[in-house]
Amino acid sequence: MAHRLFGTDGIRGTANRDPMTAEVALQVGLAVGAHFRRGRHRNRVLIGKDTRLSGYMLESALTAGFTSMGMDVILVGPMPTPAVANLTRSMRCDVGVMLSASHNPFEDNGIKLFGPDGFKLSDSVEKAIEARLANGAEGQLAQPWELGKVKWLTDVQGRYTEFVKHSFPKGVVLQGLRIIVDCANGACYKVAPEVLYELGADVISIGIEPDGFNINRRCGSTSPEALCRSVTEYRADLGIALDGDGDRVVIADETGALVDGDQVMALIAKSWNQCGRLLGGGLVATVMSNMGLERYLGGLGLTLERTSVGDRYVVETMRERGYNVGGEQSGHIILSDYTTTGDGLIAALQVLAVLVESQRRASEVCQMFEPLPQLLRNIRINGERPLEADQVKETIAANQRRLGNSGRLLIRKSGTEPLIRVMAECDDETLLHSVVDDICGAIQAVAH
197, burial (CB in 10 Å: exposed 0-12, middle 13-18, buried 19+): middle
The CATH code of domain 176-365 reads: 3.40.120.10
Write the single-letter amino acid at 71: M
CATH 1.10.530.10 is right for the domain spanning 374-447 = no
For the stretch 62-108, pLDDT in tens is 999 999 999 999 999 999 999 999 999 999 999 999 999 999 999 99
For the stretch 109-124, pLDDT in tens is 999 999 999 999 998 9
Confidence of residue 393 (pLDDT cuts 50, 70, 90): very high
pLDDT above 70 for 274:
yes
CA-to-CA distance for 245 and 345, rounded, in angstroms? Answer: 11
CA-to-CA distance for 440 and 433, rounded, in angstroms? Answer: 10
Report the topology of domain 6-155.
Alpha-D-Glucose-1,6-Bisphosphate; Chain A, domain 3 (3.40.120)
Closest Cα partner for 368 from 274, 282, 292? Answer: 292
Q: Where are the domains of the chain?
A: 6-155, 176-365, 374-447
- Spatial strand order of the sheet with 419-426 comes to 374-380, 419-426, 407-413
Confidence of residue 55 (pLDDT cuts 50, 70, 90): very high
Return the active site residues: 102
User: Residue 40's pLDDT is what?
Assistant: 82
8: part of which helix (H) or strand (E)?
none
Closest Cα partner for 242 from 185, 201, 200? Answer: 185
User: Cis omega (within 30 of 0) on the bond before 19?
Assistant: yes
User: Residue 39's pLDDT is what?
Assistant: 82
Burial 284-305 (b: 16+ CB within 10 A, else e): bbbebbbbbbbebbeeeebebb
pLDDT above 60 for 2:
no
Mean pLDDT score of the chain: 94
Residue 375 half-sphere exposure toward CB, CA atoms < 13 A: 18
Higher pLDDT residue, 140 or 202? 202
User: Residue 138's pLDDT is what?
Assistant: 65
Please give the DSSP secondary-structure letter assigned to residue 40: S
User: Residue 7's pLDDT is what?
Assistant: 83
For the stretch 157-182, pLDDT in tens is 999 999 999 999 999 999 999 999 99
User: Residue 1's pLDDT is what?
Assistant: 43
For the stretch 275-331, pLDDT in tens is 999 999 999 999 989 999 999 999 999 999 999 888 889 999 999 999 999 999 999
Tell me whether the CATH fold assigned to 6-155 matches the one assigned to 176-365: yes
